[in-house]
């Protein structure tokens, strides 16, 4: 297990860099300037932990003809509309643990993928298309710990996966 690992993001040559992508890249690499004053200790601690990832996130590559039955408004498309995802949350009316599913369907030459989000927290996950084949996700497993990953639709692999501990952020706010 290593600590304080800041994931780097590489955009494909010619990929359009939007404000969202730039902010995400700066946030993940720790390049955003401090709000005021000299830099204090990091409010987010990043670490790699394969055991935590395997306990809370499972990647399943779907084979054959894949059809995701969802209302069109539930599909979240990539910028060029060649890929989309659909998130099926667990019933939040019941007590945790929560088990949700995320389906990703990419352009030709990529894989259709189902992510099983197991035993995750009450906070809604955050998902973002980085380009037509790379997908970012943040899944909260506790109130102050999240799994952050980048998924490559061509290989079906998680190319980056870190555990982000925001407990220092809570301590700063007096929580």
pLDDT of 127 reads 96
Q: pLDDT per residue over 52-97, tens digit each?
A: 999 999 999 987 766 677 777 788 999 999 999 999 988 878 887 8
Do residues 138 and 125 lie in contact, with contact meaning Cβ atoms separated by under 8 Å?
yes
Q: pLDDT per residue over 16-43, tens digit each?
A: 556 566 555 545 544 444 444 444 556 8
Q: How far apart, in Å, are the Cα atoms of 146 and each of 60, 87, 142?
A: 20, 17, 7
Instruction: Order the strands of the 134-140 sheet from edge to edge.
Output: 45-47, 157-165, 145-152, 134-140, 126-129
Q: pLDDT per residue over 85-140, tens digit each?
A: 999 988 878 887 888 999 998 887 788 899 999 988 778 899 999 999 999 999 99
Mean pLDDT over 143-154 rounds to: 92
Is residue 161 predicted with pLDDT exceeding 90? yes
What distance in Å separates the CA atoms of residue 86 and residue 36, rounded to the nearest whole number?
39
Q: Is 51 helix (H, G, I), strand (E, B) or coil?
A: helix
pLDDT of 21 reads 63
Domain locations in the chain as residue ranges: 49-62+70-172
Q: What is the pTM of this model?
A: 0.70
């Amino acid at each position: 297990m290593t600590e304080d690992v800041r994931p780097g993001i590489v955009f494909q040559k010619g990929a359009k860099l939007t404000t969202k992508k730039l902010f995400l890249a700066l946030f993940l690499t720790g390049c955003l300037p401090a709000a005021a004053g000299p830099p204090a200790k990091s409010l987010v601690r990043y670490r790699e932990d394969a055991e935590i990832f395997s306990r809370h996130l499972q990647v399943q590559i779907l084979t054959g003809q894949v059809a995701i039955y969802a209302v069109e408004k539930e599909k979240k498309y990539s910028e060029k509309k060649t890929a989309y995802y659909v998130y099926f949350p667990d019933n939040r009316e019941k007590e945790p643990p929560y088990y949700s599913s995320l389906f990703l369907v990419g352009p030709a030459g990529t894989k259709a993928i189902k992510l099983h989000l197991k035993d995750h927290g009450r906070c809604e996950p955050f998902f973002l298309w980085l380009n037509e084949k790379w997908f970012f996700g943040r899944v909260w497993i506790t109130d102050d710990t999240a799994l952050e990953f980048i998924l490559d639709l061509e290989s079906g692999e998680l190319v980056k996966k870190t555990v982000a501990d925001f407990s220092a952020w809570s301590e700063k706010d007096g929580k």
